[in-house]
Amino acid sequence: MTDVYDSSHPPLKKNPIDLETDRSKEWWKQLIDDVLEDVGLTPGSSVMSTFCVRPGSHFVNQQEDEEIVLLLRAHPVTNLGWILLTLVMLVAPSFVLSFGILTLPGKFIFVGQMTWYLVTFLFAFEKFLMWYYSVFIVTNERLVDIDFDNLTFRNITHTNLNHIEEPEMITGGFVRTMLQYGDIFVTTASENPSIEALAVPMPQKVVNVISRLSEELEKRRERGQ
Amino acid sequence: MNPDVLIAFVTSLSVFDFVKWAFVLGLLVYMVFAVIIVKQVGIMNEALEDPRNPIVAFLGWAHLLLTILLIIVSIVIL
């Protein structure tokens, strides 16, 4: 009589049901890989960290099965105005003092100069923060728009990819065409009529990624997955 | 307080003394903004985790410390 139980076979590391569950948990990773491959994007950051693909960063309220696909900031060239103004502000005291207009004691001039440089730093730092923290995030589930408007006000908008109607891209003009950046507007069916990303690099690729992710999620929903 | 002492004190102040305390007062108000920046940077760093966040937080703290230093310098040398 043959043995019913043969202990020579190595035991399964995991129950098949568990393995299936693991695979279903990872479906979105495969989805992101497929979408990025179709669009021709590879993980990494470019254009001075304004176009980050799968950056591995995290944001507030991120869910467990959610991953950042794209993290976008405004193109670096949009900072040119305040950088030039900062440079002017830096040389302004030397320029004014060279004319000998101010007839104040030296210690007042010194403290005044230091205060001016501190204000200049504050101006530049605030502008940098507004650029650095104003991000547009595309995840495998939703779009997140974080706006840092000024020192005391910030705005975070979420839109589920299932709720978007149509992503739209607007670009034009010599500089925008040459440097490949533009605005993206996504119309939604939710309470927020639209969500926008202004002056982001490679807008056509971003729209492509959003459209494909949305389509894939819609297909899965129709299949009841 | 004897009014004569108060009058003598006020008349002994020069224009530069007023300017000095106006400077200090202005810098104290400015310090409030510096504190708000540090606070705001902390909140935004929690909102968006990024490897460069510590550098930005350092700049915020450096700005606050420089402001405090300038207030001290103003009180001492002016």
Candidates A68, A103, A115, A119: best to mutate against B (most CBs of B within 10 A) is A115
Candidates B48, B63, B73: best to mutate against A (most CBs of A within 10 A) is B48
Total structural domains in chain B?
Answer: 1
Q: Do A173 and A196 belong together in one domain?
A: yes
Is A135 in Cβ contact with B78 (below 8 Å)? Answer: no
Chain A hits for B67, CB-CB cut-off 8 Å, are 118
Q: Do A191 and A121 belong together in one domain?
A: no
Is A59 in Cβ contact with B47 (below 8 Å)? Answer: yes
Please give the single-letter amino acid code of residue B35. V
Question: Is B1 contained in some domain?
Answer: no
Chain B CA closest to residue A104: B16
Candidates A57, A62, A104, A111: best to mutate against B (most CBs of B within 10 A) is A111
User: What ipTM score was computed for the predicted complex, to two decimals?
Assistant: 0.85
Residue A106 CA, chain-centre distance (Å), reads 48
Chain B hits for A119, CB-CB cut-off 8 Å, are 30
Note the pTM of the prediction, 2 decimals.
0.82
Question: Is A2 contained in some domain?
Answer: no
For A149, phi then psi, to 5°, come to -80, -45
Question: Is B10 contained in some domain?
Answer: no
Is B73 in Cβ contact with A111 (below 8 Å)? Answer: yes
Total structural domains in chain A?
Answer: 2
Question: Is A28 contained in some domain?
Answer: no
Question: Is A15 contained in some domain?
Answer: no
Tens of pLDDT, residues B15-63: 888 888 899 999 999 999 999 999 999 988 988 888 889 999 999 999 9
Question: Is B2 contained in some domain?
Answer: no
Tens of pLDDT, residues A11-46: 545 555 554 555 566 777 888 888 888 888 888 888
The owner of tokens 């310098």 is B73
Both tokens of A14, joined, read 């995991």
Q: Got the DSSP string for A145-213? A: EEEEEETTEEEEEEEEGGGEEEEEEE--SHHHHHHTEEEEEEEESSSSSEEEEEEEE-HHHHHHHHHHH
Cβ–Cβ < 8 Å for A169, A208:
no
- The C-alpha atoms of residue A32 and residue B34 are separated, in whole angstroms, by 41
**Worst-scoring range by mean pLDDT, A66-70, A140-144, B6-10?**
B6-10
- The C-alpha atoms of residue A207 and residue A66 are separated, in whole angstroms, by 19
- The C-alpha atoms of residue A37 and residue A33 are separated, in whole angstroms, by 6
- The C-alpha atoms of residue A39 and residue A205 are separated, in whole angstroms, by 7
Q: Do A59 and A164 belong together in one domain?
A: yes
What CA dihedral angle connects A123, A124, A125 and A126, to 10 degrees?
Answer: 50
Q: Where in the sequence is the domain holding B39, given as residue range(s)?
A: 15-77
Q: CB-based contact (8 Å) between A108 and chain B?
A: yes
Q: Do A109 and A206 belong together in one domain?
A: no
Helix A16-25, helix A27-39: angle, nearest 10? 40
Question: Is B19 contained in some domain?
Answer: yes
Q: Where in the sequence is the domain holding A172, given as residue range(s)?
A: 38-74+136-222
Q: Which CATH number do you get for residue A148?
A: 2.30.29
Question: Is A196 contained in some domain?
Answer: yes
